[in-house]
């Protein structure tokens, strides 16, 4: 199914909002003692950097997984082998969001004991996450700041009227 058919709403996130939400996530994680952070590329890299700073964690690795592009979602693929982290015990796995849960399940299977934290979560995927900040509806496209530019958009009511 094409992504355009699944997403009927947009939730635009600014750099400032993302930074505040990542700090809020760090607050939720602050009482835990992690060996290090594993960021899921690419979306987890900015949140992981903020969390690493706030929790004073210097050991950061990445797991390079791809499962979708702007047009459609496929099966997750590992692009580069993760350095040995065992079963993930003591590590925090960080991503910007969990959507359908395909990528989350794929990485969870690799690191079943890692603590999984995302900034945003949707209903289908949130069961795979241990900690998150904001839940959005399944039919909402989260427009991250690295994927957007400032431009005019129609008011919501006009978009709704056009759909009716």
Nearest CA among 8, 11, 47, 14 for reference residue 29: 47
Number of domain units in the chain: 1
pLDDT tens readout for residues 59-109:
999 998 877 654 556 666 555 677 788 899 999 999 999 999 988 999 999
95 is catalytic: yes
**Domain that residue 71 falls in:** 3-163
Q: How far is CA 81 from the centre of its chain?
A: 20
Note whether 60 and 52 are within 8 A (CB): yes
Candidate list 21, 84, 99, 109, residue with the active-site label: 99
pLDDT tens readout for residues 21-38:
999 999 999 999 999 999
Please tell me the distance from the alpha carbon of residue 90 to that of residue 113, in angstroms, as a whole number: 8
Looking at residue 72, the DSSP 8-state letter turns out to be B
Please tell me the distance from the alpha carbon of residue 81 to that of residue 58, in angstroms, as a whole number: 21
99 is catalytic: yes
Q: Which CATH number is 68's domain given?
A: 3.40.50.2020
């Amino acid at each position: 199914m094409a992504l355009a058919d699944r997403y009927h709403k947009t939730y635009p996130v600014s750099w400032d909002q993302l930074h505040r939400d990542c700090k809020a996530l760090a607050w939720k994680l602050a009482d835990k003692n992690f060996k290090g952070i594993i960021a899921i590329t690419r979306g987890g890299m900015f949140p992981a950097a903020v969390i690493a700073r706030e929790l004073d964690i210097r050991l950061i690795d990445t797991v390079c997984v791809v499962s979708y592009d702007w047009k459609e979602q496929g099966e997750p693929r590992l692009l580069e082998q993760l350095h040995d982290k065992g079963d993930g015990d003591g590590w925090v796995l960080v991503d910007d969001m969990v959507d359908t849960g395909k990528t989350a399940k794929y990485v969870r299977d690799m690191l079943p004991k890692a603590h999984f934290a995302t900034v945003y979560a949707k209903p289908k995927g949130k069961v795979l996450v241990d900690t998150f900040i904001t839940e959005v509806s399944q039919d909402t496209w989260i427009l991250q700041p690295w994927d957007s530019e400032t431009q005019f958009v129609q008011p919501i009511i006009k978009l709704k009227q056009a759909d009716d």
